[in-house]
Structure 1
Amino acid sequence: MTWTVDQQLALTAIEAVAAIQTGRLKATDYIATLLARAAALSTLNALTALNMEGALAAARQIDALPDAARAALPLAGLPIVVKDNINTRGLLTSAGTPALDGFAPQTNAPSVQRLLDAGAIVLGKANMHELSLGITSTNFASHAGPVRNPYDASLIPGGSSGGTAAAIAARIVPAGLGTDTAGSTRIPAALTGIAGFRPSVGDGGAERRYHDPNAVVPISHTRDTVGPMARTVADIALLDGVITGAGPLPTVELDSLRIGLPTPLWDGLEDALEDVARAALVRLEAAGVTLIPVDMPDLLDLNARVGSVIAIHEARDDVPAWLIANQAPVTTLAQVAARIASPDVREAYDAILAAPFVNQYQTALTVLRPQLQRHYAQTFATHRLDALLFPTTRLSAVPIDEINGSSAVTINGGAPINEMNAYLRNTDPSSNAGIPGLSLAAGLTADGLPVGLELDGPLGSDRRLLAIGVAFEQWLGVLAGPTL
């Protein structure tokens, strides 16, 4: 068949792979279409680099395979983008910071390699908040400029994986990889109307779902993880299955689900966003889902005493370890800090370079974080919950601050609050607990801005959580793409 450009751009990852596997769509034609799309939408600043020659060469190899071999590839010809802090062999990996400008690793991150081995093709590297230390993706170091939200180019797409989210929402690619320390896959997914996943991390080791040691420019080994982002939850499940080797998703019946609504994460929401989120709850209840309000009184207090201390302390050792392991052009934290371009990131690095907070770190890691983890586990067990559900963010996308990178924001005309704190409030706690979290689209506000709902599950429940997300998405629907 002959595919129009619009038909190709509308393909989900699952649909694109099926079309290429069966020979109905040539990988070379599809890649060429998306490369042209990327060039046409370059003003979104979603990408820092296009892998034009490499992507077309990989597509030709897919098309040249015997039919049976091509059909056997789980991701045959699937174009993806990879966040600029994730190692890609021969492609620039700068974490959006000048000290790493022009650096190309010698190996792929394991998560990237598994996707490539399954037939995926890296279309390009995705723009991001400098060094992942922010939630706006307004990067003063990037040659591309600040990432812009495809639904309104004057607004932030969220971060720090904003480039991956913007590229997917704009139909430049159907899927990609981001990273998540405190919300960096889920926040941009929510603000751009797509799905974003943070897999289980737990205490590391066997509890960590994705293993990418020294393959991602880090903040914190306790909290960081690679995470897939895509147009649909089913697409995320496809990528997650390839990365982990997991089998099919379990069956989920909506009328058997018990879903908790954590009261602290439903308080203080933007009115327009809350209207969309509450309307989604009505639809889910109509589908038979049992929704149960739960108090979780210690959640926000415990979280406030855990996350920043761990991240600030661990970055002091984790960043130099990555630099040395990957033979980067600089080897010390001070060398990276000296060339930081974004004002908000420079402020964050000042804290990292200051006192190491050894005692506070040990208390946060060995006392307070386990308390937070128990708080979650007890909530799931006491109420017999399959998952928790809440708005991914407290407010929808706000204007880009091209002077400071991050601003104070107000919610419903209230007192100004720190922008990062406002957006991280709902995603940060489960990140610190190491449990899986999934953001999926709930709908659009009256002003046409996307709203996300997050599902958090017990540690290790990743595939069941994704199955619940697929079921919810089938009932709530997938957002139409932005008008571009």
Structure 2
Amino acid sequence: MTWTVDAQLALTATEAVAAIQSGRLKAADYIATLLARAASLESLNALTTLDLDGALAAARRIDALPAEARAQLPLAGLPVVVKDNINTAGLQTSAGTPALEGFVPKTNAPSVQRLVDAGAIVLGKANMHELAFGITSTNFATHAGPVRNPYDPTLIPGGSSGGTAAAIAARIAPAGLGTDTGGSTRIPAALTGTAGFRPSVGNGESERRYHDPHAVLPISHTRDTVGPMARTVADIALLDGVITGAGALPSVALNGLRIGLPAPLWAGLEAQVEAVAHAALKRLDAAGVVFVPVEIAELDHLNGMVGGPIALHEPREDVLAWLTANDAPVKSVAELAARIASPDVRAIYDAVLGDVLGERYDDALNLWRPRLRQYMADIFAGERLDALLFPTTRLVATPIDDVHGSSFVRIDGGEPIDTMDAFLRNTDPASTSGIPGLSLPAGMSASGLPVGFELDGPLGEDRRLLAIGIAFEQLLGALPAPAL
């Protein structure tokens, strides 16, 4: 079979694996096509490192396997991009910051290694918001630059995993890994018409779905997690199954699903986001989904008591632990912070080093977070909900701020709102409570930009949440590719 370039670029991760497993598509041909695509779209700044020789060599090894052996690899020849704060052996892990430029870890993060062991090929490292502390992916480090949205290069792709999302949306790779502390897989997925998953974190220990200790340059061990990103939820389920060893997804039908609509997360939306979201609701309602209004009146207060104190206190010890465990060239958090290039991140690290919310940390972790977790669990149980549903972000992608990196936005001409606060409002509760969250495309706005839907599920119900997401995407459909 002869594959055109367009046919190869259109492949989802699941389709690409099936074609390579069967021998219908050579992994080396596919990798070469995507490497050429990456080179032609370099202006998007989606990647910080492209592994030309290594990726092609890995693809040739896949092609050289006996047919039966290749068919047994769950991710045979699948090209993936990996966010630049996730450890990769032989490839730079800089977290998008100058002090770590060129640093190469000795081993892969466990989540990366499981993908590689299953036959995946790391195509390169993805650009990101510097040190993962932002939601725009406007990076001022000289080796990177701002990630640009494939649907409009003057706009942000979201962050902090914006490079992974942009590469996937631009058909540079069919799938990849990001990280998520407050919304960093889900926000860029929503703004680029892709899918992003935050797996269960729970108590951060036995309830954590992905275990990557000291293998990701952190913000917060309480909140951080690696998360798969792809163009379809089915592809995310494929990667999640490999990383966790989980079996087949449960069977889910839309008819009869009980889906909660949390009122605070549907308020204050940009008009074009609201229009897309309500149009999608009508289609889901016609398919038999049962929508349950949920007030969750205490959510904002509880979330506010938890999120900031944890995110601004834990980096001091957590980042130092990563630097030490990985024998990084930077030996202290202060040394790392002194070379930060992005103005918005520098301001945040001033707050981190000053421990401005330190006195609230113990109560946030030991008093308020358990209350928030129980509050969310009671909502799911009390209303017999399969998931919560709401727009992932209140607004579509906004213009790149190449002066500050992140400043203020206005929703339909209203009062200025801090950019990070505006985009994090709907994604942050899943992060602080430790439950799984999934963003998938809801539709295109009147201005031609993607709008995302987020599904949050009960703790530990990750595979069922992914199955619900697949049922949603089968009804709502994929978005058109960006015109590049």
CA distance in structure 2 between the aligned counterparts of 1:430 and 1:445, rounded to whole angstroms: 25
| 1:476 is aligned to 2:476 | yes
Instruction: Give how far 1:471 is off.
Output: 0.3
Question: In the alignment, which residue of structure 2 is the partner of 1:394?
Answer: 394
| 1:434 is aligned to 2:431 | no
Question: In the alignment, which residue of structure 1 is the partner of 2:317?
Answer: 317
Equivalent pair of 1:44/1:153 in contact (CA under 8 Å): yes
CA distance in structure 1 between the aligned counterparts of 2:253 and 2:32, rounded to whole angstroms: 40
Instruction: Give how far 1:331 is off.
Output: 1.3
CA distance in structure 1 between the aligned counterparts of 2:28 and 2:355, rounded to whole angstroms: 53
The one-letter code sitting in structure 2 at the alignment partner of 1:354 is G
Question: In the alignment, which residue of structure 2 is the partner of 1:86?
Answer: 86
CA distance in structure 1 between the aligned counterparts of 2:357 and 2:382, rounded to whole angstroms: 35
- The C-alpha deviation readout for 1:370-424, integer Å capped at 9, x for no partner, is 1111111111011100000000000000000001101200001110010000000
The 3-state SS of whatever aligns with 1:405 is: coil
Shift of the 351–456 alpha-carbon distance from structure 1 to 2, 3 Å rule, reads same
| 1:466 is aligned to 2:463 | no
Question: In the alignment, which residue of structure 2 is the partner of 1:194?
Answer: 194
Instruction: Give how far 1:256 is off.
Output: 2.3
Contiguous gaps of at least 5 residues in structure 2:
none
Question: In the alignment, which residue of structure 1 is the partner of 2:296?
Answer: 296
Equivalent pair of 2:186/2:392 in contact (CA under 8 Å): yes
Question: In the alignment, which residue of structure 2 is the partner of 1:69?
Answer: 69
CA distance in structure 2 between the aligned counterparts of 1:205 and 1:182, rounded to whole angstroms: 18
- Residue identity over aligned pairs, in percent, reads 74
Equivalent pair of 2:277/2:391 in contact (CA under 8 Å): yes
CA distance in structure 1 between the aligned counterparts of 2:48 and 2:281, rounded to whole angstroms: 38
Kindly report the root-mean-square deviation, in angstroms, between the aligned alpha carbons of the 2 structures: 0.7
| 1:141 is aligned to 2:155 | no
Equivalent pair of 1:380/1:458 in contact (CA under 8 Å): yes
Equivalent pair of 1:261/1:389 in contact (CA under 8 Å): yes
CA distance in structure 1 between the aligned counterparts of 2:435 and 2:122, rounded to whole angstroms: 28
Equivalent pair of 2:96/2:144 in contact (CA under 8 Å): no
The one-letter code sitting in structure 1 at the alignment partner of 2:308 is S
The one-letter code sitting in structure 2 at the alignment partner of 1:153 is P
The one-letter code sitting in structure 2 at the alignment partner of 1:381 is A
> Where in structure 2 are the equivalents of 1:11-30 lying within 5 Å?
11-30=11-30
The 3-state SS of whatever aligns with 2:467 is: helix
The 3-state SS of whatever aligns with 1:328 is: coil
CA distance in structure 2 between the aligned counterparts of 1:104 and 1:324, rounded to whole angstroms: 14
Instruction: Give how far 1:90 is off.
Output: 0.7
Question: In the alignment, which residue of structure 2 is the partner of 1:339?
Answer: 339
Question: In the alignment, which residue of structure 1 is the partner of 2:53?
Answer: 53
> Where in structure 2 are the equivalents of 1:19-418 lying within 5 Å?
19-355=19-355, 357-418=357-418
CA distance in structure 2 between the aligned counterparts of 1:253 and 1:133, rounded to whole angstroms: 38
Question: In the alignment, which residue of structure 2 is the partner of 1:8?
Answer: 8
CA distance in structure 2 between the aligned counterparts of 1:304 and 1:64, rounded to whole angstroms: 54
- The C-alpha deviation readout for 1:250-280, integer Å capped at 9, x for no partner, is 0001112100000000000000011001101
CA distance in structure 1 between the aligned counterparts of 2:345 and 2:206, rounded to whole angstroms: 32
Shift of the 178–142 alpha-carbon distance from structure 1 to 2, 3 Å rule, reads farther
Equivalent pair of 2:45/2:127 in contact (CA under 8 Å): yes
The one-letter code sitting in structure 1 at the alignment partner of 2:463 is R
CA distance in structure 1 between the aligned counterparts of 2:103 and 2:445, rounded to whole angstroms: 41
Instruction: Give how far 1:358 is off.
Output: 4.2
Equivalent pair of 2:190/2:452 in contact (CA under 8 Å): yes
Equivalent pair of 1:96/1:142 in contact (CA under 8 Å): no
CA distance in structure 2 between the aligned counterparts of 1:465 and 1:142, rounded to whole angstroms: 40
Equivalent pair of 2:276/2:443 in contact (CA under 8 Å): yes
The one-letter code sitting in structure 1 at the alignment partner of 2:56 is L
The 3-state SS of whatever aligns with 2:156 is: coil
TM-score, normalization: structure 1?
A: 0.99
Equivalent pair of 1:179/1:224 in contact (CA under 8 Å): yes
Equivalent pair of 2:308/2:357 in contact (CA under 8 Å): no
Instruction: Give how far 1:357 is off.
Output: 4.2
Equivalent pair of 2:47/2:124 in contact (CA under 8 Å): yes
Aligned residues between the structures: 484
CA distance in structure 1 between the aligned counterparts of 2:366 and 2:7, rounded to whole angstroms: 52
The one-letter code sitting in structure 2 at the alignment partner of 1:188 is P
The 3-state SS of whatever aligns with 1:82 is: strand
CA distance in structure 2 between the aligned counterparts of 1:40 and 1:357, rounded to whole angstroms: 45
CA distance in structure 2 between the aligned counterparts of 1:138 and 1:356, rounded to whole angstroms: 25
- The C-alpha deviation readout for 1:7-61, integer Å capped at 9, x for no partner, is 0000000000000000000000000000000000000000001000000000000
The 3-state SS of whatever aligns with 2:460 is: coil
The one-letter code sitting in structure 1 at the alignment partner of 2:457 is G
CA distance in structure 2 between the aligned counterparts of 1:459 and 1:297, rounded to whole angstroms: 20
Runs of 4+ in 1 over 6 A off after TM superposition: none
| 1:447 is aligned to 2:447 | yes
TM-score, normalization: structure 2?
A: 0.99
Instruction: Give how far 1:305 is off.
Output: 1.3
Question: In the alignment, which residue of structure 1 is the partner of 2:456?
Answer: 456
CA distance in structure 1 between the aligned counterparts of 2:289 and 2:142, rounded to whole angstroms: 44
Equivalent pair of 2:285/2:291 in contact (CA under 8 Å): yes
The 3-state SS of whatever aligns with 2:196 is: strand
Instruction: Give how far 1:356 is off.
Output: 6.1
Instruction: Give how far 1:355 is off.
Output: 3.1
